[in-house]
Amino acid sequence: MTAVSDVTAKRFGVVWLQAGACGGCTMAFLDHGRRGVFAELESFGIDLLWHPSLSEATGDEVLAILEDIAEGRVALDALVVEGTILTAPNGTGRFQLLAGTGTSLLDWIRRLAPKARHVVAVGSCAAYGGLPVASPDPGEGVGLQFSGGDRGGALGAAHRGAAGLPVVNVAGCAPHPGWIVETLIALATGDLRSTDLDVLGRPKFFADHLAHHGCSRNEFYEFKASAETASDRGCLMEHLGCKATQAVGDCNQRTWNGSGSCTDAGYACIACTSPEFERARGFLQTPKVAGIPVGLPLDMPKAWFMALAALSKSATPKRVRLNAVKDHVVVPPGRIRRAGTEGGEG
Amino acid sequence: MNRIVVGPFNRVEGDLELRLDVEDDRVVAARVTTPLYRGFEQILIGRPIGDALIVAPRICGICSVSQSLAAAAALASFSGTVPAANGALATALAHASENLADHLSHFYLFFMPDFARAQYAGESWYGAIAERFTAIRGRASGEFLPVRSRLLEVMGLVAGKWPHSLAFRAGGTTRALDLGAKTRLRAILTDVRDFAERVLFAAPLETVLAWEGVEPLDAHATDGRGDFARFLRLADTLGLSGLGRGPGTVMSYGAHPGPNGEGPLFAAGLYETGSRTLLPLEPARITEDPSHSWLAGEAGPPARAETQPDIDRAGAYSWARAPRYAGRTVEVGAVARQLVAGHPVIRALVARDGGTSVTSRVAARLLEVAAVLRAMETWVDRLAPGEPFCTGGGEPTDGSGIGLVEAARGGLGHWMTVRGGRITRYQIIAPTTWNFSPTDGAGVPGPLERSLEGLRLAGLGARAAAVQHVVRSFDPCMVCTAH
């Protein structure tokens, strides 16, 4: 037949597995798209061959699908994994057996991944280990191709999908719905190449930005006008634990659930897109040495930061200083009034 | 006797394994296995107290707000923190949004697709139902998902994002809502009400909320044009009121602010479906039993329990412990909340059915959608921009507390002990831990295990739709169950 029908007939088959997951990545995935995520996937010919929360197939029907893939009878375009891959105890993976099989998720993933054109880790758990590997790491968890920030993980550093890419890491806890679906669509259309991933396997379209970029508290950041308690409007970096200047993500260039973001909602970025974010202790306070935050902006020399901070603090407008420690605007923007003239913005 | 193992069991938020002993096409015994253990209780130990607000929600991405609120409530219970009035309302709005999103996702994405199974292809109703409810491709999910997103815009305004927000504190919420945000909340609820009135009930909410007894429900099953009526007709046709009998006692921790800011919207307590008796809730009577769990230790109160895996424990078959109230199995969830709260339709329906069932579990969930949606509108009315959303107050360094909240799927409890500002004990009992409990040390099976006994499999073994209906009627969340 014609090339056109070949193109329209081309489908992109996805199997989604939940390893040591909370299900939150699937919840985020379901939030995508004005017409609903199913309609958006259909627009790009993406088939969910099986998804544990969404597909009809259950029990032996699922096992038939997985066996067909493992034995090469059915092609798999993408294996998507959500959740930490548990290896406990002692590398057996028995802390998570796939129901009805007596076989660990660890072994299922190792069996299916070599058959997939692409392997995608959705969420920081599947990418790097995530929250479940926080001390004492009860499940001896790993990511698909990383263990924390170290290459390796369940599939090993050398793994490449049949199409040539390493594991694609849609990091985040939970990731933005757009990061997940845009990654799948870009794989289906063949647009996502290895050069589109950063050194930690994250798509650059979100990982080439800092969570800080576009933060609605930016003016407070510039003047080092800091929030002191929860719900204050000021910058969250100096006291309240915010790592947005160190964490990747276009978090503040998108909207989450229609309008929000972590920092916009008044709480710290905890760097959930970074390997080992879970190792922090005391997330809600900024760690300091001699009163100076330990974690300064990612690529800024400390002396410069200190000098700029001192300068900007000294130049902070009264409006910014006062609003920083209130939960609503107490001084609106306006020209500095001179005696005998009208105030206001004009 | 024939023994069959069922799994992977999907559309249950995580994974589930059933072992069914079958004689003459009838289940004579069932064993429910929670196959995942991540160890969140172990992870919480030794951390600074405030870190519970980062760790706890990540137990579950489906009810992460509920997990946050249980942690915040446990903190508040011994710090004496009283949340700002606005913060309590904003919290309630986010919590209710999560519960409604869960209820509706369960109905449209997890439960109804089973009526499109091939087993029913010969039924007269099959074509229209399959067209509407087939998993992923059905028309209803396409109508529902944009409304789900719209509802979750409440999270964008109140909590920054969902799941896994840090906005929820013992003192309230971290984002003060201004008049613009309050107005946007109103607009969101208007859109969700429109969906409920046009698609789900095909009737004004006030009509649904005025129903008393089973007669209006029966009339709706006959005349209704919405998806709820479609379910009621299927339930009648397939006899779902006789499937999945519950254990006879239901429990609710009580939920949501009341209409005038007083008392809970849904009261706390226990209700016996046989004697129709209401009992007060006494949290001290809650125990957990690891006799059949891959966990070390003995039965006892959660406040004194420690969690340590023991994968070679003799007789163990699940990562979940067996929670008991005064030694009894209890059912939790929307049907429990509405029975305890005295919902006139659900009380009458359960009385007629002789106990909780597939039908009453689903009906309670959807009738709760109507009640909560209207309550949310009143909470938005009461938001006062300019007034505080979060009270301060230092974190306590020593003490013990309990946080009891109602997640969509039922009562969720966190038991926390703190010494020197660090967490020394942390125990969680999730809703599905109650419903999908393993057998206890006295040999008493959990609620689902008992519900499956006697079920007929229509010669289809594990594929029988009846198994699917009974299991999913509880709206299980398996990731929470063992955590």
Contacts with A57 from chain B: Cβ below 8 Å: 10
Distance, CA of B178 to chain centre? 31
- For residues B133-150, give the mean pLDDT: 98
Rounded Cα distance between A30 and A38, Å, is 8
**Cβ within 8 Å of A, B 174-233:** 174-176, 178, 184
CB B329 within 8 A of CB B287: no
Name the pairing type of β-strands A116-122 and A76-82.
Answer: parallel
Q: Of B393, B392, B415, give the one whose Cα is nearest residue B404.
A: B415
Lowest mean pLDDT across A140-149, A335-344, B28-37, B233-242: A335-344
Could B7 and A23 be called an inter-chain contact, meaning their C-beta atoms sit closer than 8 Å? no
A2 pLDDT above the threshold of 60? no
pLDDT of residue A79: 98
B166 contacts in chain A (CB < 8 Å): 262, 265, 267-268, 270, 283-284
Contact A38/B134, CB-based, under 8 Å? no
Total Cβ atoms within 10 A of residue B179: 10
Phi, psi torsion values for B271, nearest 5 degrees: -140, 130
For residues B126 and B115, give the distance between their C-alpha atoms in angstroms, rounded to a whole number.
8
Q: Which of B13, B116, B175 sits opposite A265 (nearest CB)?
A: B175
Enclosing H/E stretch for B43:
helix B40-44
How far is it, in rounded angstroms, from Cα B142 to Cα A38?
7
* Closest CB from A30, A132, A260 relative to B38: A132
Closest residue of B to A176, CA-based?
B161
Residue B270 CB coordination number (10 Å): 22
| Token pair 């939960």 in the structure block, residue | A327
Is the separation of the CB atoms in B55 and B45 below 8 Å?
no
Domains, in order of start, for chain B: 2-165+174-482 (1.10.645.10)
A30/B145 touch (CB, cutoff 8 Å), yes or no: yes
- Put simply, the chain B residues between 68 and 107 with a CB less than 8 A from any chain A CB are 87, 105
CB spacing of A52 vs B15 below 8 angstroms: yes
CB contact under 8 A, B178 and A328: yes
For B200-248, how does the pLDDT look when each residue is reduced to its tens digit (9 = 90+)? 999 999 999 999 999 999 999 999 999 999 999 999 999 999 999 999 9
Task: For residue range B70-87, list pLDDT tens digits in order.
Answer: 999 999 998 889 999 999
Provide, as residue numbers in chain B, all residues whose Cβ is less than 8 Å from the Cβ of A231: 87, 172-176, 388-390
Question: Averaged over B356-360, what is the pLDDT?
Answer: 98
Are A47 and A198 in contact, with CB atoms under 8 Å apart?
A: no
Interface residue B7 vs chain A (CB under 8 A): yes
B249 touches B289 (CB < 8 A):
no
Q: Rounded to a whole number, what is the distance in Å from the CA of A127 to chain B's nearest CA?
A: 16
| Amino acid present at A195 | T
- Strand B2-6 and strand B322-325: pairing? unpaired
A81: closest CA of chain B, how far (Å): 13
Q: What is d(CA A136, CA B46) in angstroms, rounded to the nearest whole number?
A: 10
Q: What percent of chain B has pLDDT over 70?
A: 100
pLDDT of residue A306: 86
pLDDT of residue B260: 77
Could you give the percent of chain A with pLDDT greater than 90?
86
Cα A268 to Cα A242: distance, rounded to the nearest angstrom: 4
pLDDT in tens, B171-192: 999 999 999 999 999 999 999 9
**Where are chain A's structural domains?**
11-205, 209-328
Instruction: Compute the average pLDDT of residues A67-91.
Output: 98
User: Which residues in chain A are closer than 8 Å to B479, comparing Cβ atoms?
Assistant: 18, 21-23
- Contact B477/A at CB under 8 A: yes
pLDDT at residue A223 is higher than 70: yes
Residue of B nearest to A38 (CA): B136
Positive or negative, the CA dihedral B313, B319, B325, B331 is negative
- Kindly state whether B109 is in contact with chain A, defined as any CB-CB distance less than 8 angstroms: yes
Give chain B positions within 8 Å (CB) of A62: 8, 10
CA distance B415 to B401: 6
Neighbours of B385 (CB within 10 A): 15
Cβ-count burial of B474 within 10 angstroms (0-12 exposed, 13-18 middle, 19+ buried)?
buried
Confidence label for A337 from pLDDT (cuts 50, 70 and 90): low
Mean pLDDT of B128-149: 98
Residue B174 to residue A99, Cβ atoms within 8 A: no
Which of B10, B159, B463 comes nearest A265 by C-beta? B159
Residue B382 CB-density burial (10 A; 0-12 exposed, 13-18 middle, 19+ buried): middle
CB neighbourhood size of A114 (10 A): 15
Residue A56 distance to chain B (closest CA, Å):
6
- The DSSP output letter for A300 is S
What's at B172, amino acid-wise? G
Q: Which residues of B228-248 are buried (b: 16+ CB within 10 A; e: fewer)?
A: bbbbbbbbeebebbebbbbbb
B476 touches chain A (CB under 8 A): no
Shortest alpha-carbon distance between residue A340 and chain B (Å) = 31
Put simply, the answer to whether B61 touches A84 (Cβ < 8 Å) is no
Query: What is the predicted pLDDT for the residue at A173?
Result: 98
Q: Where does A209-328 sit in CATH, by number?
A: 4.10.480.10
Of B37, B134, B463, the CB nearest to A95: B37
Over chain B, what is the mean pLDDT?
97
What are the chain A neighbours of B154 within 8 Å (beta carbons)?
A: 257
How many Cβ pairs closer than 8 A exist between chain A and B?
Answer: 289
Interchain proximity A27–B62, CB inside 8 Å = yes
CA-nearest residue to A41 within chain B is B136
B453 touches chain A (CB under 8 A): no
Instruction: With a cut of 70, say whether residue A341 has pLDDT above it.
Output: no
d(CA A33, CA A50) in angstroms, rounded, equals 20
Q: How far apart are CA A278 and CA A243, in angstroms?
A: 13
Q: Do A58 and B137 touch (CB under 8 A)?
A: no
> What is the spatial distance between Cα A58 and Cα B12, in angstroms, rounded to a whole number?
11
CATH fold group of domain A11-205 = Rossmann fold (3.40.50)
Polymer length in residues for chain A: 346
For B448, the token pair is 């689902």
* Residue A4 confidence (pLDDT) above 90: no
Question: In the predicted model, what is the mean pLDDT of chain A?
Answer: 94
pLDDT tens-digit readout, B432-455: 999 999 999 999 999 999 999 999
Q: Tell me if chain A has a CB within 8 Å of the CB of B331.
A: no
- A131 CB neighbours in chain B (<8 A) are 43, 55, 58
- Provide CB contacts within 8 A for B77, sequence distance 6+: B401, B402, B403
Residue A5 has pLDDT above 90, yes or no: no
Beta strands in B40-171 (DSSP E): 168-169
**Chain B residues close to A25, C-beta within 8 Å:** 61
